[in-house]
Amino acid sequence: MVQRVRLACALSVFFSLPWAAFAQDIPLVVPKKAKPGQASITAYSEEELHAQKPKLGVIVGPKLGGAFPVAGPLGPSLFAAVEIGYRLPVLKRILSLSLEPNFSNPSSARATELGTLKGPTLSVSVPLLVGANVEAGPGLVRVLAGPSFDWAQSDTQVAGFAFSETSTALGVSVSAGYLVHLGPGGLGIELRYHATAPRVAASNSISHLLGVTAAYVFDL
């Protein structure tokens, strides 16, 4: 009788050991032991907490910077934009689709036989952008590209004459940047390229613009 009790105790101890769980294909979870008088706490980094937050997929945020001409009749300008978009519920929400209406006020100038055509220009552009959003370190790498609908209105002067021009054109916008996670979104810098050909300074020549913007984008 005593031997049977000892055998039963030995078997119960054996099956309570960790290797018994592996032998039976039972997942083994070994919690960290807290010090006496302390609760067990699991620590997560800020990146892990951000990755665990449920996403609605909404992207919205202001952007402010400058645009600088590489070629064409448009001059340097301040640049202001608002991105409104949605991160598609596929591929871990890497892909996004955004509208980014923006405003700038470059000068325009072009040399002619009568003199230099020049004057202020009001430019509004609305790009439709497809984006890739990839987590990297403490932030998010973003690359956006797509066509844009561009509108421009210029008041041009030459040889004592003044005239106004209003035109529309299709353009191309490309941007790349890095946003550091901060609060409900990310703060960072974007580099931009925009090509467009609205009629300014009596010319439809293509303007190539490079830009740098600071951005805070809510990633909800």
pLDDT in tens, 62-100: 999 998 888 877 778 899 999 999 999 988 899 999 999
Query: Which DSSP helix (H) or strand (E) runs through 108?
Result: strand 107-112
Domain count of the chain? 1
Q: What is the pTM of this model?
A: 0.69
The answer on pLDDT for 169 being more than 60 is yes
Q: Measure Cα distances from 27 to 15, 22, 24 in Å.
A: 14, 7, 9
Q: Which amino acid is at 34?
A: A
What range defines the domain where residue 146 resides?
55-219
18 belongs to a structural domain: no
8 belongs to a structural domain: no
183 belongs to a structural domain: yes
95 belongs to a structural domain: yes
Q: Which two tokens stand for residue 181?
A: 């996670």
23 belongs to a structural domain: no
Strands 95-99 and 115-136: antiparallel
- State the pLDDT at residue 7: 54
CATH of the domain at 196: 2.40.160.20
The answer on pLDDT for 212 being more than 90 is yes
51: CB partners within 8 A, 6+ apart = 135
pLDDT tens digits, 118-158: 666 788 999 999 999 999 999 999 999 999 999 888 777 66
Nearest Cα residue to 144 out of 160, 159, 158, 132: 132
Residue appearing with tokens 């996004």: 96
